[in-house]
Amino acid sequence: MSRNLVRPFFPIPPKEYSQAYFNEVIRAFSIYLDQMQNPGEGRNTTLVLTNLPSNDQGLEVGSLFQETGFVKITAEDRTNLLGVLATGAVGSVTVTA
């Protein structure tokens, strides 16, 4: 997936140890790590999602899940409950006609 990132420059090593070279390598790796840890934007022409969960239980905000054929996004202020089913009984009722 292309993220339009500028690749960091890794300098050509000198024949002998150079503190300036070592600092440049560390700087380049720091840029690389920052880029990899930032999700950035994505643009796709096709996308295949497999094994999506069927509810948002335990997912972080922004995660995708599917419910009845629709892809949904987990939101902080909206729950997608697995379902609620309850039965109960209180006493007895006699009906005469």
pLDDT at 5 over 80: no
Asked if 43 contacts 2 with a C-beta cutoff of 8 angstroms, the reply is yes
For the segment 39-65, what is each residue's pLDDT rounded down to a tens digit?
Answer: 777 778 898 999 999 888 889 889 999
Residue 13 falls inside a structural domain: yes
46 vs 78, residue with greater confidence: 46
Residue length of the chain: 97
Q: 52 and 73, same structural domain?
A: yes
The number of domains in the chain is 2
Residue 24 falls inside a structural domain: yes
- Per-residue model confidence (pLDDT) at position 36: 83
- Per-residue model confidence (pLDDT) at position 2: 55
Q: 52 and 30, same structural domain?
A: no
Domain extent at residue 2: 1-43
- Tokens 């890794």 belong to 10
Residue 92 falls inside a structural domain: no
Residue 21 falls inside a structural domain: yes
Q: 62 and 34, same structural domain?
A: no
Closest Cα to residue 39, out of 1, 89, 91? Answer: 1
